Amino acid sequence: MSIDRNERPLEAGIHTDLSGRMTYGGYLQLDRLLSAQHPLSNPPHHDEMLFIVQHQVAELWMKLLGHELTAAVEHLRNDRVWQFGKVAARCKRVQEQLTAMWAVLETLTPSEYMQFRDVLGPSSGFQSLQYRSIEFLMGNKNAAMLRVFEYDPDAHARLRAALDAPSLYDEFLRYLARWGHAVPASHVERDWTRAHVHDPALLPVFERIYENTDIYWREYALCEDLVDLETQFQIWRFRHLRTVMRIIGFKRGTGGSSGAGFLRQALDLTFFPELFDVRSVIGPTR
């Protein structure tokens, strides 16, 4: 019995003749994925691998998040509330992964990072197409961000498409209008390229939902999903800021910004402001 030798025997059914057949590495294209980590420091700095892998993994999770959020918007557009909830639940789990990742990067000391930071030149996460697309998809539109992508016409066109399309919040407000809620017409048809700006006229809509959850339980569940998504997004931004402060303090960013001060301003951006504001006007209900 080979278990005595602390070995697990192969079972007879296990495939060992895999030439010309679908394999693990082939299906996942691991040869491409795992040959895309090239430290630029010379000689290679041990910690640059962490920096590269950390960003690549974040971009992979963002790929899934963008994919799921796009589906979520489509579900809302077609009144598929249950399907929306299912996709939103997955998005939240992905966001948790993205947030938990900061703890890995925080093992990089300030002086280790300074030993290879110069190889980054003017590159910065500020130029992440996927990150900016997700922000646009959620509703933080900002046409000025497109300028950063002028060097790459394909990326520019993709971000432009995200700017032009209704966001998650836009589709949510349109959903509410379709289902009889008093959403002002200015939210049902508008210039989608503009960021949503806080509108007190939306408060009665949400007040009615939050004060009558037994009637509007569908709408309430949707609202709370959006609140979760925004909260998770803000936690990611906050953890990014704290990691940045811990590693480069208040140095300027490689992307040309003031650094921590610039990132802190992002904490004041909001996707679904009325969903937080409504709580200030809710009274006791019986």
Ligand X SMILES: N[C@@H](CC(=O)c1ccccc1NC=O)C(=O)O
Which residues contribute to the site for ligand HEM (CB under 6 A)? 54-55, 58, 105, 113, 124-126, 128, 131, 240, 244, 247-248, 253-257, 259, 262-263, 266
Q: Which is nearer to ligand HEM, 65 or 76 (CB)?
A: 65
Non-local (6+) Cβ contacts of 171 within 8 A are 73, 76, 77
Rounded to whole angstroms, the Cα distance separating 101 from 112 reads 19
Element housing 70 (H / E): helix 48-77
240 among annotated binding-site residues: yes
Identify the burial level of 173 via C-beta atoms within 10 angstroms of its C-beta, where 0-12 means exposed, 13-18 middle and 19 or more buried. Answer: buried
67 among annotated binding-site residues: no
Residue 86 C-beta: closest distance to ligand HEM, Å: 26
Q: Which is nearer to ligand X, 34 or 40 (CB)?
A: 40
Question: Binding partner of residue 204 among ligand HEM, ligand X, none, CB under 5 to 8 Å per kind?
Answer: none
Non-local (6+) Cβ contacts of 16 within 8 A are 10
Stretch that binds ligand X, among 184-192, 213-221, 250-258, 270-278 (CB under 6 A): 250-258
Residue whose C-beta lies closest to ligand X: 125
- Bond preceding residue 9 cis, omega within 30 of 0: no
Question: Binding partner of residue 256 among ligand X, ligand HEM, none, CB under 5 to 8 Å per kind?
Answer: ligand HEM
Rounded to whole angstroms, the Cα distance separating 42 from 227 reads 46
Residues engaged in binding ligand X (CB under 6 A): 55, 117, 120, 123-125, 248, 253-255
